[in-house]
Structure 1
Amino acid sequence: MRAQNSATTPSTIAVTTSRGAASADGGAAATDPTGPTSTGTAAPVAGRRGTLLAALGVVSFSLTFPSTAWGLESFGPWSLVAVRSVLAALIAGAFLLAGRVPLPERRHWAGLAVVAGGVVVGFPLLTTLALQTSTTSHAAVVVGLLPLTTAAFAAVRTGRRPSRTFWIAAVSGALVVLAFTVQQSGGALSTGDLYLFGALVVCAAGYTEGGRLARLMPGWHVIGWALVFCLPLMTAGAAVALTQEPVRLTAHGIAGLVWVAAGSTFFGLYVWYRGMAAIGIPRASQLQLAQPLLTLFWSVTVLGEELAPAAPLAAVAVLVCIAVTQRAKS
């Protein structure tokens, strides 16, 4: 594969613009990852499509923790993370080869490394370690802080500041999630919570950088190349981990592995980055306030965990915050 030519032709620019990845003049829309690229009468359509794609990504992500819990029935935490990354990278590589996608420009490699470190390696590893001691419902609520963390990273990375109403609603949603977490953990944070808070930081960095890159290239190229770049490291890691941790194959374990590899890691991130490119990082990130609620639903219906009494109240409060952030100017 050859590197992309930075002197992009006008026809390529036109195609990219239609996908919501960059502007035809290479101006603010191509460099500002916090707002949508579409203008004029096409803006509402592009906004609805972007919201739908981002929401589909959230649904995919909401199944990650239950699937990881299933995967841990068959694999150790290090083995599960390494094998899921290898499988996802092979899927991504096959799509990149089939589409004859050229190598990304060298100037994008640092950003792809951030995506790889945060989304492909850091978040899966830290959350998998956390789920050894935490329930999926508890982990889901802690990770509900991710939208605020992502919005903060985006503000620092891009220099753009969302409106005061946006921040009030975002902080309110985060406080609801935090209060729910502390109440459920008895007022003390566990080792699993520390893993989860670390996962928030690295994932927010990966989401922010991925959202920026998704406005310069198709979203599936972003996650595809990030996965492929990690393939040598994760292949070596899988070879070592599988010899050190026991493997007990079960139907649940295999199904969980397949979903976290193909569903969460590849498909979910593909639609998520495309959605972020269309509607902006801050607004897309607030859709993830619904992710803990969806994961709570899966944890009860799929894993049989008990639903906390405070969950319905938290659900209503978070949904109100989502509505406000989606209407606030970002």
Structure 2
Amino acid sequence: MIKNKTSKDQIASGWINGFIGVLLFSGSMPATKLAVMEMSPIFVTIARAVIAGILALSVLVLYNEKRPEKEQFFSLVLVAVGCVIGFPLLSSLALQYVSSAHSIVFLGMLPLATAIFGVLRGGEKPHPIFWLFSVAGSLLVIGYAFAQGISASPIGDVLMLLAVALCGLGYAEGAKLSKTLGGWQVISWALIISLPAMLLLFFIYFPDDLKIISFKGWFGLGYISLFSMFIGFIFWYKGLAQGGITSVGQLQLLQPFFGLALAAYLLHEQVSFGMLGVTIGVILCVAGTKKFAK
């Protein structure tokens, strides 16, 4: 009885930590948009990794954390490729072609991508009906993109699709590794693996004139460096490890809702009824996926 209660408490904690992570991630696309409006997408990607990497290195030294095992290195590389480099770079490039509100809708596909890699890399086996709800939420997102005229910005949409795929891989791989290495340790070591190359590129792509960058640009870069690239992952990976990759991963369906609200408030971007309808639709899928995740 005590074991069952402990298991339920752990799952509940997983959902709470996962929700906090999603809430912090929700500001990523609007904040990235603020940054890339005044800085190159490549520099934004590099700078956020460098800032978060230095913070991660400081924390690891402070707590005197032991180095990962050799067999954990490959997983850390996948996390770095998916979450430190792939998603930040591709999404930053995409925001040159689409609005942050449009890109946020694509994030409704992240739960499905995470669940797929959770099965492939994490060995989880959700109920078949789980996939019905997960796919339904993703189809709403894809349908909306085509309804808006995907040919209007094919480059931006393709970049977002690739970004989502890499991010799903990084989420699932990091969650699996968090069970043995620890949540904040996973993202910290992934950042440190990327740090030497990122530091070199940082000076190569450093802006010629810092005076043209406003407070909004620096604020956007600061947010994605601290919260999107480091702090958010501490809660997110812990939540995925506690409650299950496929189950807690569906909380990402809430991310477009929070993200659209922030895009409308910070960037004064138009949020159409179509966007709201799609967002509400994918949110309703959370209940179904939660019930059939195990």
State the TM-score, normalizing by the size of structure 1.
0.85
User: Letter of the aligned partner of 1:59 in structure 2?
Assistant: L
> Does 1:83 pair with 2:47?
yes
Q: Which residue in the other structure is 1:95 paired with?
A: 59
Shift of 1:246: 5.7
CA shift for structure 1 position 45: 1.6
Query: Does residue 1:49 correspond to 2:48, yes or no?
Result: no
Decide which of 209, 222, 230 is 2:186's aligned counterpart: 222
Q: What amino acid maps onto 1:195 in structure 2?
A: L
Paired residues of 2:117 and 2:168 also in contact (CA < 8 A)? yes
Q: Distance in 2 between matches of 1:205 and 1:280?
A: 15
1:231 corresponds to which of 186, 190, 195 = 195
Q: Structure 2: 5+ residue runs without aligned partners? A: none
Q: Determine the C-alpha separation between the residues in 2 that align with 1:121 and 1:139.
A: 18
- Using the alignment, how far apart are the partners of 2:290 and 2:269 within structure 1? 31
- Alpha-carbon separation, structure 2, partners of 1:168 and 1:188: 30
CA distance in 2, matches of 1:263, 1:288: 16
Using the TM superposition, name which of 125-134 and 199-208 deviates more.
Answer: 199-208
Instruction: Name the residue aligned to 1:281.
Output: 245
Q: Which residue of 1 aligns with 2:4?
A: 40
Alignment partners' CA distance in 2, 1:66 and 1:159: 34
- Kept in 2, the 8 Å contact 1:75–1:246? The answer is no
Q: Supply the distance in 1 between the matched residues of 2:222 and 2:150 (Cα, whole angstroms).
A: 34
Report the counterpart of residue 181 of structure 1 in structure 2: 145
**Percentage of pairs with the same residue:** 32
Structure 1 stretches lacking a partner, 5+ long: 1-37
Q: How does 1:1-330 map to 2 (within 5 A)?
A: 39-185=3-149, 190-242=154-206, 247=210, 248-330=212-294
**SS of residue matched to 2:199:** helix
Report the AA paired with residue 222 of structure 2.
Answer: V
2:107–2:252: 8 Å Cα contact kept in structure 1? no
Structure 1 315/197 Cα, relative in aligned 2: closer, same or farther at 3 Å? closer
C-alpha RMSD of matched pairs (Å)? 1.6
Which segment is superposed worse, 150-159 or 283-292? 150-159
Counterparts of 1:182 and 1:66, CA distance in 2? 22
Q: Which has the higher helix share?
A: 2
- Please say if residues 89 and 224 of structure 1, whose CA atoms lie closer than 8 Å, have aligned partners that are also in contact: yes
- The one-character-per-residue Cα deviations of 1:162-213 (angstroms, maximum 9, x if unpaired) are 1022111101111111112222235665101111111112111111110110
What is the alpha-carbon distance in structure 2 between the residues aligned to residue 266 and residue 165 of structure 1?
34
What CA deviation, in whole Å up to 9, does each residue of 1:15-58 have, x standing for no partner? xxxxxxxxxxxxxxxxxxxxxxx942112221111101111111
Residues 45 and 55 of structure 1: CA distance in aligned 2, closer, same or farther (over 3 Å): same
Deviation at 1:282, TM superposition (A): 0.4
C-alpha separation between the residues in 1 aligned to 2:156 and 2:280? 26
CA contact (8 A) 1:138 1:184 kept: no
Alpha-carbon spacing, 1:164–1:105, altered in 2? closer, same or farther (3 Å):
same
Secondary structure (helix, strand or coil) at the match of 2:93 reads helix
Residue 226 of structure 1: CA displacement?
A: 0.4
Residue 33 of structure 1: aligned partner:
none
- Indicate the structure (1 or 2) with the bigger Cα radius of gyration: 1
The CA distance in 2 between the partners of 1:132 and 1:82, in whole Å, is 17
Q: Partners of 2:147 and 2:209 in 1: how far apart?
A: 35
Q: TM-score, normalised by structure 2?
A: 0.95
Q: Tell me the CA shift for residue 238 of structure 1.
A: 1.0
CA distance in 2, matches of 1:304, 1:270: 30
SS of match in other structure, 1:304: coil
Question: In structure 1, what is the Cα distance between the partners aligned to 2:203 and 2:9?
Answer: 47
Q: Equivalents in 2 of 1:126, 1:237: separation in Å?
A: 17
